[in-house]
Structure formats: structure tokens, C-alpha cells
Structure 1
Amino acid sequence: MTAFDTEYRAAERLADIAAATPHDGAVLAATVAAVRLTGRHLLATFSKRSRTPDDLDQLIRAIHVNDDASLAVARGLLERTLPTAGWVDDELEGGVLPAGDWWIFDAVEGNVNHVHGLAEWGISATLVRDGAPHLTAVYEPVADRLYTAVRGSGIAAVNGVPLRPSTKTQLKAAIVTTGQARPGESAETYRQIGASVTAMLNAALVVRMTVPATFQLGLVAGGQADAFWQHSDVRSGLAAGALLVSEAGGSVTDLQGRPWSFASRDFLACAPGIEREALKVLGEVA
């Protein structure tokens, strides 16, 4: 029996425990086991020396190979954990989910980074319950970094250490970040992205733009960055991070300052002390 087989059987046991007694602690433990095992599986095919082909079709095929390898490990474990939960198949979908339990699983967050030999990629699984993120586990294999959060617990953690957003009160002292949610957005969305970056360049200390969104939101939850915004409703890029930031004590709204939900068209997560100022800047270009 290989090491992978041993770990997979251990993950199955945790899934069976959660299925029999589906309280949050058991479900989170099974979810953590699933994303860790999947991440280590994908790490075996990762190289920082990777260079992708110039051809877009070959690049997309490489991305699909990674997705398939990830799903082959994780989907069975997560479905075994909560057999009655639904499954979101399209990681680029947005909008409200029906009532009940749903898994939002991003097979390889930052898949394009993995293919290009960049370290910023990972595996995330978020349980959505009655329309809101309920618990999440996000694993970054290269850094061996695990984010976890459960709704209502007031605790979001990275490798077991509680996260807290920054205490900054001035946007001009803030590191802020954004990113492109998916390829092929509308011309209006691209206009909004460009205008919002320009506005923040004039208002914040430093502006970063990168993917995947979840990792940027982990930084906001932990205070290494002060705000993240996005002109998007892609669920898989926002669900885990929104829960991490809110449970850490940060602010999560749309760009009009209303509480964020899957029905929202856009997104802002930030340190509470700069929320009003960030909303003013971004609201002028939304």
C-alpha cells in the first residue's frame, strides 16, 4: 500500500465519522483531510521550473488535467462526508444557490499559476448552508498553509493560529489588492477594474493585482493586506475568503456598503477602520 493509499483511507474514515455525526467539528476535520490530501497529490506534478506552451489550447488542456486530478481525489471524499449536499460543478458560476447544503469546490485555485510554475495555488472547499458560507478549508501546498473558518465561531485561523485584520484607520497607509475573477469578462467590467485600480492608486499606499482571490482574502483576514475588492460574483473565488475575513473580524460588503451575499454583483473585504473610506473611493467608479 502506498503512502497516498494510507492517507486516503484515513480521510475516508474522517468522512464516515462526519457522515454519521455531521457536527461542524467533524465536517471541518473531514474537509481539511480532503483538501490536504488533494493538495499533496497536485504538488507531485508541480515544478517551479515549469513553462507552459505558447499555444492557448495546450495551456487549457494542462489546466483541465489538473482539475481532473484534483476532483478524482476530493469529490468522493466530500460527497462521502455529507451525502445529501449538492455540488457546484462550474467554478466560474455566480449567483444565489438553492436552500440546503452545497459544496463549492475549487479544484485548483490559481490553476494558471500551477501550470506556470508559480507557487500561489491551492485547493479550497467551502460548505454553503442555506445560501451562506458555513465552513471552509483552504490549503496552499507549496507553503504548507491551511486556512480554516466556521460561521458564527468568531475564529478564522491559518495553521491553527487565529487571524485578525489590521487596525489601520487611513486608506493612505493601506495595502489594497484586487484581481481578475475570470477571463472573458464584459467590456464594462474591465472598465470598472481599470477605473477602480486608478482610483486606489491615488488613494492607497500600495495597490496589488493578482490571483487567486482567496489567497488575497486570507491576507486581509490576517492583516498582511488591508482590503480586497472585485467586480465579480464568481462564487468559488469569494466564498472561502468572505468567511475567513468575516470570522476574523473584518468587514465584508458589496461596493455600495450592503452586506455581501451570493446575490451581490461586486465585493469588498477590508479592515473595519478603512471600510468607509474604501467604499467612498470604489463607489465613485462602481
Structure 2
Amino acid sequence: MQNEINIPIILDAVRKVGNVFLKDYKQNAIPQTMDELLQKLEDIDTLCLSSLKEDLALQYPNIPWHIGDEFDTDSQRNPSDNEEYWLCDAMDGAIQYVQHIAGWTINLALIRHGKPLFSVIFDPLANEMFWAKDGEGAFMNGRLLELSNKTDQSVMLAVFEYGHQDKSDNDLNKKIGTTVTNLIQNFGIVRNYGPHGLQLAYVGAGRIDLFVQEDLDTYNWIAGLLIAKEAGAEIITTTGTPWKWGSESLLVAQKSITEKYLQIKSTN
């Protein structure tokens, strides 16, 4: 296990493959069938992973790779047994990419002892590189991130998200509906944007005031969680307990805002 990590090399590798996708953005036909869509998504994964693996292999030849399949609910409940590994969401927002819509990023996290040690989120369209190392702060294009200081809920931007698991045999759809209602009734601006990790990075950057999700989505969250945490956000569940790997909800904001949200939730 390598104790030190070469951050510029990792950022360069992520930027390189992100810019490859940027060059091809909107150049291909939008898929019209499920087979076409699945093939496009597979092609994205293959290109992204092969590029990252090739560029990082010389510096990190012994670190294994784990693919973050957000459709696999069970695998998201616990970290891998590996002491250290790369966790890659080849493209967060791949659906937007193939639909010619903005809102797609390249996400990569280095997991050590079951916790994210380093993570990076690159938004090629905006040319913004978010990254964080545990205990060392969060940055965007070299600038230290800071949370929003808003106190007026009427000007706060709150976002909600949902995952891909089957919601037909539980009360998740009802919880999500209640979440949206609570947000609309109590926050001035409510959105559902798409790329989960980027939204969490935006909390760290002060662009989004609150992020909430009422299901399990570890792989989509993990890179952005470290960035938000290192910027000073509180990372908890919607029941108010500390978030841990496998938690089935997520609430991220500055502490005063999470406290207000939990108060709103308790009265509904």
C-alpha cells in the first residue's frame, strides 16, 4: 500500500479521459432502443476505465479497481474487502451524455480501510475539477471550497435525488414524495439536477445549500461525499444519525440547515 498519493497525476488522468468525452459530446445519435442505450453505456464504461487504468498503472500498479455499479443495490451496502482500491463511477450522468444534455462528470475515489481517502470529480463542460483528500480540505481548480452562509430559506437551493433500486415493494416512493413536498413548502428553490456526485461537490462549493436522498446510492455519492465533508458540510442520514457506508439515506448541508430540515421532517 502506498501511503503517499500523487494528486497531479490522478487529476491529469481524469482530465484526459473527460476531455476525450467532451470532444465526442453530441457527435453521436441519441439511442432509440434499449439495446442501443445499453451498448452506449457499455462503450462509455469501457473507454473511461481503460484510459484511467492505463494512465494510473505506472504510478499505482498494485491498487485494484472496483466498478461502482449503482444498479447493484446489495454491493453498495459494504465496502470491498480490499485494503485499498479505486472506486470508479465511469461517468456520473451518462444518461445525460447520451441524450445530449449537460450534467455528466468523471468520478474517481481512492478507498482505503473502507473509507474514501481521495476523490475527484471532473466536469468537462465547465472545465471544473473538484477534489479532496481526507483531512486536507476540498478544492475546485486549485481554490479552497467553502459552504454557503445563507440563513434565509427563501433564497436557499435544495436538491433531491433518487436511486435505481426497485421501489415497488417498499415505501420509498412515498418517502421521496414527502421529501419533495417538504422541500417545496420550506425552501425557495428546489431542483433535481442529475449527477449526484457533482451536486454534493456543489454543496461544498456553496452553490447548493442542501442535498437530500431517501434511498441507498453509495456509489453515486462517495466521491462527492468526501468533497462536501472536507468543505465543512455535515454528512448524516435523514434520521439524523451519522452517515456510514451502507446507510439508506443521505442529508448533506451546513449543520444549521440539516438541523432545520430534520425539524421540518419531524413535524410532517
Q: TM-score, normalised by structure 1?
A: 0.84
Counterparts of 1:187-202 in structure 2 under 5 Å?
Answer: 188-202=171-185
Letter of the structure 1 residue corresponding to residue 262 of structure 2:
L
Counterparts of 1:62-211 in structure 2 under 5 Å?
Answer: 62-92=40-70, 93-97=75-79, 98=81, 100-153=83-136, 155-182=137-164, 184-186=166-168, 188-211=171-194
Deviation at 1:43, TM superposition (A): 1.6
Contact 2:217/2:248, CA 8 A, preserved across alignment: no
Letter of the structure 1 residue corresponding to residue 157 of structure 2:
I
Find out whether 1:33 has 2:15 as its counterpart: no
CA distance in 2, matches of 1:177, 1:148: 21
Change (3 A) 1:227 1:109: same
Contact 2:209/2:254, CA 8 A, preserved across alignment: yes
Q: Secondary structure at 1:34's aligned position in 2?
A: helix
CA distance in 2, matches of 1:72, 1:100: 22
Identity within the alignment, %: 24
CA distance in 2, matches of 1:22, 1:43: 33
What is the aligned partner in structure 2 of residue 52 from structure 1? 30
Find out whether 1:228 has 2:211 as its counterpart: yes
Change (3 A) 1:283 1:117: farther
CA distance in 1, matches of 2:40, 2:101: 14
CA distance in 1, matches of 2:58, 2:226: 23
Unpaired segments ≥5 residues, structure 2: none
CA distance in 1, matches of 2:55, 2:265: 40
Letter of the structure 2 residue corresponding to residue 37 of structure 1:
K
Deviation at 1:274, TM superposition (A): 1.0
Contact 1:107/1:124, CA 8 A, preserved across alignment: yes
Judging by fraction of residues, say which structure has more helix: 1
Contact 1:255/1:283, CA 8 A, preserved across alignment: no
Contact 1:102/1:128, CA 8 A, preserved across alignment: yes
Deviation at 1:40, TM superposition (A): 1.3
CA distance in 2, matches of 1:284, 1:263: 27
Taking only aligned residues, the RMSD between alpha carbons, in angstroms, comes to 2.1
Q: Secondary structure at 2:171's aligned position in 1?
A: helix
Q: Secondary structure at 1:149's aligned position in 2?
A: strand
Letter of the structure 2 residue corresponding to residue 39 of structure 1:
G
Change (3 A) 1:81 1:192: farther
Deviation at 1:178, TM superposition (A): 1.5
Find out whether 1:23 has 2:4 as its counterpart: yes
Q: Secondary structure at 2:16's aligned position in 1?
A: helix
Contact 1:42/1:69, CA 8 A, preserved across alignment: no
Deviations 1:78-137 (A, max 9, x none): 454433333222421412213621211011110001101112111111011112111111
Deviation at 1:165, TM superposition (A): 0.7
Change (3 A) 1:139 1:50: same
Contact 1:170/1:273, CA 8 A, preserved across alignment: no
What is the aligned partner in structure 2 of residue 61 from structure 1? 39
